[in-house]
Amino acid sequence: MTPNDQTSVYSDTAYDSRKPRSMPPEPEHKDGFLMRRARGQRITLPAGAHCKEHASMGYMPSDVKGSIQIEQYEQENRGGHRMVTWPDLLEWPVLQRSLQYVIAWFTFAGGLFSAIFIGIFTGLSNGIYLFTYFFLPLFLIWVILRYINKGEPKLKKDTRFYRRTGMVSLYLGKDQPRQEIPFDEFDPYMSFRTGPTGSSSFVLQLAHRYSETLIGHPNQFDHVHGVYLAWEELQQFMDVSQPLPDTVYNERFRPFDPVTVEFDRETNRKPDHWRRFDNRTYLDYCVVASDAAKDYPWGKT
C-alpha cells in the first residue's frame, strides 16, 4: 500500500497523532456543580494506545463467522474499517436487542430449567404444565425477536466516530442535520455511577473542549481499567497512523483499511487470528487479557 493509496482513502481532516493540529487554547470552564458532576474526572493518560488488551472486551468468535457484504458497508459508510458507533440506549432498535437478551434469560435459565426442576421433584405433570404455558410462549417471543434483530441495527440517534474523516457525528434532534466535530477536540473524562442496589461502575465520557457538548460511552465498566481500555481503543481506531484495534469484530474489516493492511503484511498477521478460536479458548484468553489490563502500569509508560 503506497502513500498515494492511503491519501485517496483518508481525508485531510483524518486524525493523525503524528501531525497534531494547531488549535486554540482550551477556554477556562466555569461549570456549575451539575456539569462537573456529569463530566467526572479528567483522564490524564498519555495519548495513544499503550496497553492494547482490547481482547478482554467485545465480541465472541462465534459472533463474526462467515463473510461480510463489504459493498453494502461501503455504500452506507459504515463497518469496522470506517465507523464506530455509540448508540443511544433508549432508541428502539437498542431496546429491542436488550429485550431479546432479557427474554432469553427468562426462557432458558428460568422457563426451561424450572420446568425440568419442577418435573423431577414435584411431578411430571407440573413440569409439562410449566413447559407448555411458560417456556414455550417465552421461547416463541425470543425466536421472533431474534429474527427481527438479525443484522446490525439501523440507528439514528447514535454518536458516530468516522476513522477516514476524523470526525465525530452527533445527533441534534429530529429534522435537524447531524453536527460533525473533529475528534481531537474532545477530552476524555471518567464518571462514577452508583446503581439502585449500591453497585458501582465507571463510564467513559467525552467532553468537547470548546462547547458544553458531552457524550457518554454506552457501556458501564466495573473497573477503572475498562474505561482506560475503551478510551485507548477509540483513540487507536480514529488514528490513521495506527492499524485498526486488533479485536474480534474488526478482524473481518482489516483487509479494507490501507494502514491496517500494511501493518498486517509487515507483521505477518493471520487473517483469521481470532476467528479460528473456539469460544471457550477465547474466553480463557480474555481472562488473561483482563488480568493484564488490570495490572498494567496505567499512566506510567
- pLDDT, tens only, 42-77: 999 988 888 988 765 667 777 777 667 788 778 777
- Per-chain mean pLDDT for the chain: 86
Determine which helix (DSSP H) or strand (DSSP E) holds 167, and give its type and residue range.
Answer: strand 167-170
Which cell is 135 given? Answer: 417456556
pLDDT at 232 exceeding the cut of 90: yes
The listed range with the strongest mean pLDDT (49-63, 129-143, 229-243, 275-289) is 229-243
What's the whole-model pTM score?
0.82
Query: How far apart (Å, rounded) are the C-alpha atoms in residues 297 and 153?
Result: 37
pLDDT at 84 exceeding the cut of 50: yes
206 phi and psi, to 5 degrees? -115, 125
pLDDT band at 108 (very low <50, low <70, confident <90, very high): confident
Alpha helices (H) along the chain: 3-9, 33-39, 70-75, 92-104, 113-121, 124-130, 136-148, 224-238, 248-251, 258-267, 279-295
268 contacts: CB under 8 Å, gap ≥ 6:
none
The listed range with the strongest mean pLDDT (146-150, 209-213, 242-246) is 242-246
pLDDT of residue 1: 45
pLDDT band at 2 (very low <50, low <70, confident <90, very high): very low
pLDDT band at 6 (very low <50, low <70, confident <90, very high): low
C-alpha distance from residue 18 to each of 56, 152, 240 (Å): 27, 33, 9
Which cell is 176 given? Answer: 435537524
